[in-house]
Structure 1
Amino acid sequence: MTGRKVIGLREAVAAHVRPGATVYLGNFGAQLFAVGHEIIRQRRTGLHLVIGSGGILLDQLLGAGVLASATFGHCWSPVGPGPTWNFRRAAESGERPVTLYELSLGLLTAALTAGAWDVPFMPVPGLPGTGYTDENWPNGRTSRVDSVFGAADVVAAIVPDVAFVHVDQADADGNGVIPGPLGETLVAAQAARAVVLVAEEVVDTGTARRAGIAVPGLLTSAVVHRPGAVAPDGAIGRYERDVAAYERYVARAATPDGFADWLAGHVTGGRDA
């Protein structure tokens, strides 16, 4: 099915990811490897990534050198579990070539909600006794403000230039169906200046409505039909996570040379992992 909002992945990245852009790559628990790899292939640089479930996709983007900063909920391989070596090297580097902002999913959702509501920050519960408060994991993204109504902990708003959202189904009008938990995805779409749905399947409008629309076409700038968009991660009701691919990646990325070989063989050489 075709429509005015259905475009190719390469075209979507070229149109919406400019050097220095703030890019949300959703969803929590569904890493959009297809989009991340296309960003690397198009050599977009200086990007400010916003990603709830960072995992090995964030690790790959860090290693590829396309990021200026990353705002994330976590970065580790859920298989094993295993380390994300590029993230570890970046975090431990005295030079800190990439600025890292670690937020809990609650803080990230609140920051995106503030962006959606067009306010500078959102009040959040304090998290004393955690690294978010005691060790400044948010790296300046949180603060405390006073008002006539009392004091409150707050998190700064996040407004992505573009949000790439993974959906199970989308129609040509940009209505998207998400069968799993929404997490921060809907507020990310509401906060972003542009929204690209990356769909496992493109269906007619009636099918999307019967399945239950999670992201309305009113918010959507474009739809990309890309089956397997989150592979080697898994998609609910579509395909399982490729555990062996995760294990191979972690083993290869343990050294910078090993990662460079993996990147050339699986991404920049034209073949997805």
Structure 2
Amino acid sequence: MPFLPLKDAIHAHVPDGASVALEGFTHLIPFAAGHEIIRQGKRDLHLIRLTPDLVYDQMIGMGCARRLTFSWGGNPGVGSLHRLRDAVEHAWPRPLELDEHSHAGMAAAYCAGASNLPFGTLRGYIDNDLSQVNPRIRGVTCPFTGERLAAVPAINPDVTILHAQRADRDGNIAIDGIIGAQREAALAARTLLVTVEEIVDRLPPAMNAIVLPHWIVTAVAHCPGGAYPSYAHGHYARDNAFYRQWDEIARSREGFARWMQQHVLGTADHGAFLASLQDKAA
């Protein structure tokens, strides 16, 4: 399990055409990794995430994605993702296939993938028409009770990318605070990349924490601030103002393109990205 610069990790392990899950729930969203995917011009990606928000809006708007498997997409607390909507409604910058699920359906699919099972089951998709527009939502009959259950195919990303608070020098990963689908997405993946706030000699005990063992981790990149503008519990707060500003930035194709050129394509790495935002604020 090598420690790599983020640029090298993305170059080596995220090929064009891959299925890629950048997971994080409320906090620890791997923005730095998403921006590096954009800088390297990755294409034809099948993006997967329980709750795609700004970083997926950016990757979709920059033409990285051909397909999106998800359960909810939006700018939390603000509104729509304008680049996602433009891709779906107007095929700009390219058409985007949708594979839409409920949160419970995505969780069941990740759990099935992590368990090496072909599909997940749940009591769900009742009294709604989502299964009518998504042929990948089907049903099975329980062999023990005869109950009809919803079924979803397992999710096994080619690559899962996470951001975490810390790794030790053996590559074990500790994630503190709110835990979304990170553990299941990690265990379901063929390749696991993790960016971290810090590398420590020993992982400290913590409440509400999980540890991902080094033997499932493909590469670790030291990337302080790698979840910004989302937050990293115990390290920095969420930049709520940025989420509000993004609504205006992404509303037009021209404004979006200018911002991405200045702050992502025009910067060498995540440190330079953060500096560019500070320069603008100054």
| Equivalent-residue separation in structure 1 for 2:266 and 2:185 (angstroms) | 32
Q: Which amino acid aligns with 2:263?
A: H
- Match of 2:160, SS? strand
Specify the alignment match of 1:59 in structure 2: 57
Q: Which runs of 4 or more aligned residues in structure 1 lie more than 6 Å from their structure 2 counterparts after TM superposition?
A: none
Unaligned runs of 5+ in 2: 278-282
Which residue matches 1:190? 187
Q: Percent identity?
A: 38
Q: Partner residue of 1:116? A: 114
2:143 aligned with 1:154 = no
Residues 94 and 50 from structure 1, CA distance in 2 versus in 1: closer, same or farther, beyond 3 angstroms? closer
2:101 alignment partner, one of 100, 103, 106: 103
CA distance in structure 2 between the partners assigned to 1:94 and 1:172 by the alignment: 45
Once the two structures are superposed, the pairs formed by residues 207-222 of structure 1 within 5 Å of their partners are 208=203, 210-211=205-206, 213-222=210-219
Shift, 1:141, TM fit: 2.6
What is the identity, as a one-letter code, of the residue corresponding to 1:255?
S
Which secondary structure does the structure 2 equivalent of 1:264 belong to? helix
Match of 1:14 in 2: 11
- Offset at residue 105 of structure 1 (A): 2.4
Show CA shifts across 1:83-126 (max 9, x none): 21111222323798111122222211211111122221111112
SS at match of 1:29: coil
Structure 2 Cα separation of the partners of residues 267 and 11 of structure 1: 17
CA 1:213 to 1:254, structure 2 compared with 1: closer, same or farther past 3 Å? closer
Q: Secondary structure at the match of 1:190?
A: helix
The residue number in structure 1 matching 2:125 is: 127
Q: Paired residue for 1:143?
A: 138
* Structure 1 contact 34–230 (Cα < 8 Å) conserved: yes
Which sections of structure 1, spanning at least 5 residues, go unmatched?
Answer: none
SS state at 1:178 partner? strand
What's the CA shift for 1:71?
1.3
2:164 is equivalent to residue 172 of structure 1: no
In the TM superposition, residue 182 of structure 1 has moved relative to its aligned partner by 2.1
CA RMSD of aligned residues (A): 2.0
Report the secondary structure of 1:92's partner residue: helix
2:32 to 26, 31, 34: 34
Partner Cα distance (1:105, 1:246) in 2: 22
2:251 equivalent to 1:254: yes
Q: Structure 1 counterpart of 2:200, which letter?
A: V
Matches of 2:100 and 2:177, distance apart in 1: 24
**CA distance in structure 1 between the partners assigned to 2:142 and 2:163 by the alignment:** 39
1:225 Cα deviation from its structure 2 partner = 0.7
- Contact 2:125–2:150, Cα closer than 8 Å, also in 1: no
**Deviation at 1:185?**
1.0
Q: TM-score, normalised by structure 2?
A: 0.87
Once the two structures are superposed, what CA deviation does each residue of 1:245-271 show, in whole Å capped at 9, x if it has no partner?
Answer: 222222121111111111111111115
Do the aligned residues in 1 keep the contact of 2:4 with 2:219 (CA within 8 Å)?
A: yes
Q: Which residue of 2 aligns with 1:265?
A: 262
Aligned partners of 2:136, 2:204: CA distance in 1, in Å? 38
Aligned ranges 1:42-53 → 2 under 5 Å:
42-53=40-51
Identify if the C-alpha distance between structure 1 residues 246 and 148 changes in structure 2 by more than 3 Å, giving closer, same or farther.
Answer: closer
- Contact 1:22–1:47 at 8 Å: present in 2 too? yes
